[in-house]
Amino acid sequence: MSEYKSEFLKVISERGFLHQMSDPEGLDKLCAEGPVTAYIGFDCTAPSLHAGSLVTIMMLYWFQQTGHRPIALMGSGTTRVGDPTGKDESRKILSDEIIEENKAGIRKIFEKLLTFGDGPTDALMMDNADWLMKLNYVDFLREIGRHFSVNQMIQRDSVKLRLEREQHLSFLEFNYMLLQGYDYLEIYQQTGCRLQMGGSDQWSNILSGVDLIRRKAGVEAYALTAPLLTTSSGAKMGKTASGAVWLNAEQLSPYDYWQYWRNTEDADVERFLKLFTILPLEEIKRLAALEGAGINDAKKVLATEATAMIHGREAAEAAAETARQAFEEGAMAEGLPTIEVPKADLEAGMGILSAFVTAGLCGSNGDVRRNIKGGAVKINDKGEQNEKRSLTLSDLTDDGVIKLSLGKKKHVLLKPV
């Protein structure tokens, strides 16, 4: 482990963000000299980013914190083309309106973590649709395609493996590195950006941009990737029962987000504290040293700090307090996710089945029935076995709500309005 001179690489390497770098010495020197500009691209396939993207988002955060200028690139141009790697046939073609909506949702996340503006280290937001949509095929081939050597392209591991195994590789996929390489060049020309970061799966795409900039502009640009994260038990990051761990509050409440981190596996606690919180390393070391049940305290810190990063300190504390009441006191915690139902429904008597479905705890009536059979369903903390049970105003607690629970961890409050 060589010592880095630049603050950025020091922080990044200590906290476990580093996977590969194209020219460590050169990049270190560049970053040590003064403000550098770097970008990371994000797809616009969903209305929010999820926990899987958080690693690279945090890299942008640290980049700015250590005195540099980050660029968040919205890939709405490449999203329109569609990422060719999936196996599903008939991929959904997203309409322009949806892509724009998604883009708006994704922007919000960056606005929380980065400081935007016109200053030398203020973050920028760009969109590759601005230049990709204008491309003319023949011009592109002449201007960009000429700088790509097929001989080299087929040497790339991603390509080589496919060819060696005689697996199909479409021309579209083969071209992807040109598009992303072109992004890098375009951003370099517009902003002087000389560093592109991303997940480790982006490595070869990033390198193609590095090459292109060298050929086209005679400038050395850099590549840096972060490891692809899995939990210690091998699960992909950012997936839960109800889907992805979204970063936007509209997609996933801060309380549920807090819970996601609270349920981190023991073996991941230290790694996640380094990656997803900004606590000092000594503090993390101390927390990670906790053993047995004590590590639960570290998980709470992880949850609160990680939640504070993207939902704000206040929401994080509230989530922590709600969880404390719900789990440690078994009390009726007011901060639990709350669903409003028309008062009239309760007056008429609301079926327990539909109550759990509207609360989002179960996917269908049959799902509720199965869970009732499995003994997972509770109303106001009392087990319920009768699927015909209906909820009425008399079920309201002193706080004026009805608490629905599925299993031990999932609770929703029903509130009449």
Q: Does 363 bind RNA (CB under 7 A)?
A: yes
Is residue 139 a contact partner of residue 148, using CB atoms and an 8 Å limit? no
- Using CB under 7 A, count the residues that bind RNA: 46
Q: How far is the CB of 295 from RNA (least distance, A)?
A: 4
Cα–Cα dist 369/352, whole Å:
10
Binding span for RNA by CB under 7 A among 13-21, 106-114, 161-169, 246-254: 161-169
Q: Is 363 helix (H, G, I), strand (E, B) or coil?
A: coil
Q: Does 321 bind RNA (CB under 7 A)?
A: no
Q: Does 390 bind RNA (CB under 7 A)?
A: no
Q: What is the 3-state secondary structure (H, E, C) of 63-116?
A: HHHCCCEEEEEECHHHHHHCCCCCCCCCCCCCCHHHHHHHHHHHHHHHHHHCCE
Helix, strand, coil in percent for the chain, rounding step 5: 50, 15, 35
- Write out the binding residues for RNA, residues 22-81 only, by CB under 7 A: none
Q: Does 159 bind RNA (CB under 7 A)?
A: no
φ, ψ for residue 74 (rounded to 5)? Answer: -85, 125
CA 29 to each of CA 12, 22, 32, 35: distance values in angstroms, whole numbers, following the listed order = 15, 13, 5, 11
φ, ψ for residue 117 (rounded to 5)? Answer: 160, -160
Residue 35 vs 407, nearer CB to RNA? 407
Residue 110 vs 260, nearer CB to RNA? 260
Cα–Cα dist 82/134, whole Å:
17
Q: Which of 219, 180, 174 is nearest to 199 (CA)?
A: 180
Q: Does 334 bind RNA (CB under 7 A)?
A: no
- What is the torsion angle, in degrees rounded to the nearest 10, for the CA atoms of residue 175, residue 180, residue 182 and residue 184? -160
Spatial strand order of the sheet with 69-74 comes to: 20-21, 222-226, 195-199, 37-42, 69-74, 124-127
Q: Does 295 bind RNA (CB under 7 A)?
A: yes
- Write out the binding residues for RNA, residues 165-184 only, by CB under 7 A: 166-168, 170
How many C-beta atoms surround the C-beta of residue 64 within 10 A?
Answer: 21
Q: How far is the CB of 126 from RNA (least distance, A)?
A: 32
Q: How far is the CB of 340 from RNA (least distance, A)?
A: 22
Q: Which of 365, 380, 390, 392 binds RNA (CB under 7 A)?
A: 365
Q: Does 235 bind RNA (CB under 7 A)?
A: yes
How many C-beta atoms surround the C-beta of residue 130 within 10 A?
Answer: 13
Residue 143 vs 367, nearer CB to RNA? 367
Q: Which of 1, 2, 85, 89 binds RNA (CB under 7 A)?
A: 89
Q: How far is the CB of 292 from RNA (least distance, A)?
A: 5
Q: Which of 327, 332, 358, 384 binds RNA (CB under 7 A)?
A: 327
Q: Which of 233, 385, 386, 394 binds RNA (CB under 7 A)?
A: 233
Q: How far apart are the first and last CA of the chain?
A: 61
Q: How far is the CB of 301 from RNA (least distance, A)?
A: 12
- Write out the binding residues for RNA, residues 341-360 only, by CB under 7 A: 353, 357
Interface positions with RNA (CB under 7 A): 87-89, 166-168, 170, 233, 235, 239-241, 259, 262-266, 292-293, 295-296, 299, 323-324, 326-328, 353, 357, 363-367, 369-371, 374-376, 406-410
